[in-house]
Amino acid sequence: MLQVPFIRDNRDDIVKRLTIRNIDAAKMIDDVIVFDEQRRQLQTQLDNEKAEMNNLSKEIGNLYKSGEAQKANILKEKTTQLKDSIKDLELQLTNKADALNELLYKIPNVPNPIVPTGNTDDDNEEVFREGEIPVLFEGALPHWELAKKYDIIDFELGNKITGAGFPVYKGKGARLQRALIAYFLDKNTAAGYTEYQLPHLVNEASGFGTGQLPDKEGQMYHVTGDNLYLIPTAEVPGTNIFRNVLLNASDLPIGITGYTPCFRREAGSYGAHVRGLNRLHQFDKVEILRVEHPSKSYEALDTMVNHVKGIMRELNLPYRILRLCGGDLGFTSALTYDFELFSTAQDRWLEISSISNFETFQANRLKLRFKNSEGKNELAHTLNGSSLALPRVLAGILENCQTEKGIKIPEVLIPYTGFEYIN
């Protein structure tokens, strides 16, 4: 959520930069400024009347002590009127603050100036590419056919148990899934991230804190009886560790990692682009999160990108990095880099990671602050990234590493799987 002082001081720049998202935000921004001015006027009036009430109360007490009860009773009538006025002002102030917050929740984060303009993922800017795309043998298969051939993932069984988008991993498929999780966590902890085991359900306040609510309410599974939400990513419980927390500058940076299953109601339409593991309702993901000093957050973003690069190099899979355009940028993000893995069997790129800097947008919602060098409370910056999302990485391994002998496991994973081939 944008800070109101920031909006007041940077009105024109915010409106201009939000056009990168293809949003004409002028009216919303102007309404924020008007609502805030009205709120401040009400607050001033309320403070003045409360001060007058305190002065009258003291004066009434002195009059009673001096035996001037008649004068005291006259003033008491005035305090009764003031009480009614104060009560009305408090209600007006609450309503105005609620209206202001409701409006602020609708305004997305301001894009970083280097975010490219554009409407769709076709307008994203490729900034890096690495890895040789393998030439597969004749008769190579997409991963959903390989899963069936080697009996390692059962999509029909998952459909029977739950529904479409809930696959069942079996045998070496389950071992490979577990190996990837352990490998990703080991890489992340070796890079200085502290491992957490996090809840898989969160309350409403946590959803608002990271921006999933109200923006993505329809995409989350809602446990209505308890008003809890199944997490769409470990970002939500992980970042909410720091909700309503005041840190010291010496505590920064903070880095955490965690594995969780993720649940998303939207799984897309039908067709080859959503078949198999391409898009699921439930999937596994290892996440990295950082809380940073504002002056260091973009350096940290580059560090996170380089960290995931290192993982992709060890897996020896072809990938590219995209800088997302304004139209494809997430609601809470100021700048996002997507990693995409090339699926040779499908002849298409598959997104496997998004790494984002939210600047103070989440921290303002979370009330996540630190004491700066001047001893003042300042909002921290938050960042997060997939390191990595498993389904499409697993699909990429199956498709890119298939041989006539079977699926050759990337060398770095063999100590985790205990086998070299799926055959």
**Structural domain boundaries of the chain?**
4-104, 121-422
Q: Is 55 exposed, middle or buried (0-12, 13-18, 19+ CB in 10 A)?
A: exposed
Q: How far apart are CA 198 and CA 183, in angstroms?
A: 18
Q: May I ask the CATH class of domain 4-104?
A: mainly alpha
CA distances from 227 to 105, 128, 203, 221, 242 (A): 20, 43, 7, 10, 21
Q: Which two tokens stand for residue 168?
A: 């069942």
Pairing of strands 228-230, 402-403: unpaired
CB 109 within 8 A of CB 333: yes
**3-state DSSP assignment of residue 23:** coil
Q: Which two tokens stand for residue 292?
A: 């940073």
CB 363 within 8 A of CB 290: no
pTM of the model: 0.93
Query: What string of pLDDT tens digits covers the 423 residues of the chain?
Result: 999 999 999 999 999 999 999 999 999 999 999 999 999 999 999 999 999 999 999 999 999 999 998 888 889 888 999 999 999 999 999 999 999 999 999 999 999 999 999 999 999 999 999 999 999 999 999 999 999 999 999 999 999 999 999 999 999 999 999 999 999 999 999 999 999 999 999 999 999 999 999 877 789 999 999 999 999 999 999 999 999 999 999 999 999 999 999 999 975 555 556 799 999 999 999 999 999 999 999 999 999 999 999 999 999 999 999 999 999 999 999 999 999 999 999 999 999 999 999 999 999 999 999 999 999 999 999 999 999 999 999 999 999 999 999 999 999 999 999 999 999
Spell out the residues 6+ positions from residue 384 whose beta carbon is closer than 8 angstroms to its own: 233, 235, 238, 239, 287, 288, 289, 290, 355, 356, 358
> Can you name the CATH fold of 121-422?
BirA Bifunctional Protein; domain 2 (3.30.930)
Q: How far apart are CA 411 and CA 317, in angstroms?
A: 12
